[in-house]
Chain A
């Protein structure tokens, strides 16, 4: 089992470019989330999903889109990258309504220049 797989691990973008961060899980978990981690700010929730076809906004959703067409995949799209989106991005899964243990991917380090 791979668990939670994020790609790419590193990415450099120019301001205004768009890209998609990929997240795939093989644990058949219902819940998936995207977080960004900045120095001194902890992890902040961007978007989350409780199942295929259902997504919702978290604490810092502006500038990001998500979709959940399958249980396994939860891509995060940056529509027009800005330097303020330079961060480390983590995807996480939780088994379902009774779960508290989140399983995280290895992270994607994104730099916007």
Chain B
């Protein structure tokens, strides 16, 4: 079975709203969890990561939360913009390679 997955395949928000994208994982041995953004026709791009011994990490307009008790990871995007429209993947690092979830498509309307 899949060890990393996202709860919802699609999410639609209005410009300026905050977006929350969720992910459930099953491999407790992963040392890092990472979020990627993929725009149409391109390869995924790194957004932010969080080490497994942390529960929160903030970047520019993004925050990642890790709840190891329920094996849940989320990406919060503040003041969502049309340029944030993309597919978002969570991934976990299993020693030497990244394992990706299925992705959530974020659509931002203005």
Contacts and interface: CB of A to CB of B under 8 A. Distances in A.
Interface of A: 4, 31, 33, 35, 40-45, 48, 50, 56, 58-59, 90, 92, 94, 97, 100-102, 104-107
A63 to B, nearest CB: 19
A44 B100 contact: yes
B43 A45 contact: no
Contacts of B97: 31, 33, 45, 48, 58
28 contacts: A31-B97, A33-B97, A35-B100, A40-B9, A40-B102, A42-B101, A42-B103, A45-B97, A48-B96, A50-B96, A56-B96, A58-B97, A59-B99, A90-B43, A90-B44, A94-B98, A97-B96, A100-B46, A100-B49, A100-B98, A102-B36, A102-B91, A102-B98, A104-B45, A105-B43, A107-B41, A107-B42, A107-B43
Nearest to B50: A100
A59 B97 CA distance: 11
B96 A100 contact: no
A106 B41 CA distance: 8
Contact of A92 (B42, B43, B89): B43
Nearest to B89: A42
Chain A binding site: helix, strand, loop or mixed by DSSP?
Answer: strand
Given A43-B44, A107-B43, A100 B34 contact: yes
Contacts of B93: 100
Interface in B33-74: 34, 36, 41-46, 49
Interface residues of B, number: 22
Given A40-B9, A41-B102, A42-B89, A102 B96 contact: no
Name, among A42, A104, A106, the residue most crowded by chain B CB atoms within 10 Å (CB to CB).
A42
Interface in B1-52: 9, 32, 34, 36, 41-46, 49
Nearest to A43: B100
Contacts of A97: 96
Given A92-B43, A102-B44, A104-B44, A45 B89 contact: no
